[in-house]
Chain A
């Protein structure tokens, strides 16, 4: 499934939008989400899951190919925690 499939679905299910309008809307939904996460704010979508920005501390690591030790810098990463509703939907319990 790609954005194009989602756009088609929005056109089908929510009447009154042109393809272009639906495309812009879907784009704007993900743009708002990206900007929110970029600010370090988490997003909670009930029934789907939570997108959380986590602070990772620096830690020593190694290049697995050469074995050279390197320092992995402190960084912020995005994690997704699926909601229990989504988990059970994937396991035929919904």
Chain B
């Protein structure tokens, strides 16, 4: 799948024009590139995280000719796949249920101040939450 195919699928799913979907997707990746440029990491829940790794200069070799080459210090992006996606890619768990609104923790739903007995099961919560 290329970026333009991703744009088409998202446009269709979200009922947007391709032009709008393209702006959204370009904005997402631009924001990510800029964060990495600042040396900032990116964390996308359920997908993975990106960090910038600093590499020192070293004397390498051209693998084809065997010539010694100097490799300047550099920064490279590093992607670490999230646990959920890692399992899904490996066919280990079905796609997760549609996401719940807001936090994933079973927080007090309506009244913030009222004390909540810890043993009473939250009716909205299912057992599959790990």
Contacts and interface: CB of A to CB of B under 8 A. Distances in A.
B47 A34 contact: yes
Instruction: In the A-B complex, list the 9 residue pairs whose CB atoms are closest, starting with the nearest.
Output: A80-B79, A1-B35, A9-B31, A90-B75, A78-B81, A1-B42, A38-B88, A14-B23, A13-B27
B89 interface: yes
B31 A6 contact: yes
B74 interface: yes
Interface residues of A, number: 48
Given A9-B31, A10-B28, A38-B89, A44 B1 contact: yes
Nearest to A82: B77
Interface of B: 1-3, 6, 9-10, 13-14, 16, 20, 23-25, 27-29, 31-33, 35-37, 40-48, 50, 52, 74-77, 79, 81, 85-86, 88-91, 95, 99
A34 B96 CA distance: 11
19 contacts: A1-B43, A9-B31, A14-B20, A29-B6, A32-B9, A33-B47, A36-B1, A38-B91, A41-B1, A42-B1, A44-B2, A45-B29, A48-B33, A75-B90, A76-B91, A80-B77, A87-B74, A87-B76, A89-B33
Given A1-B42, A33-B6, A34-B47, A90 B36 contact: yes
